[in-house]
Amino acid sequence: MSNNTFTFIDLFSGIGGFRIACEGLGGKCLGFSEIDSKAISAYKDNFETDNELEIGDITKAKESPYADILLGGVPCQSWSIAGRMKGFEDPRGKLWLDTINYTKQAQPKAF
C-alpha cells in the first residue's frame, strides 16, 4: 500500500462511521453493505456512492469485488444481554457465518 492508499468494502456500514476513519487514512471505498433503509439513506447523503457497489443484505450478496480490506462489525445484539445472549440462535448471530463466507469469496488482505 504505497502512499497510505488502500481500497475497502464497508460491511454493516450503518451511516458510515468506519468509512470516515478509513477515508481519513487514505482509503477508497468500493462498496457497502447495509439493510436498514434509513441508514442507507443517511449513508448516501453523507458520501458519494454512485460508483460503488451497493451490496445490500450480506446474506444475499452475489458480488464481491476485490478490496484490500473488508471492514465492519457484525451486529452485537445476539451476543449481549440486550439480545438475551442467544448467540447463533438469533438470526443476527448467524451473520458471522455470512461474513466469513463473503471474506473467503473476496480474498482481502485484511478483515
Give me the active site residues, please: 76
Residue 105 makes CB contacts below 8 A (sequence gap 6+) with 64
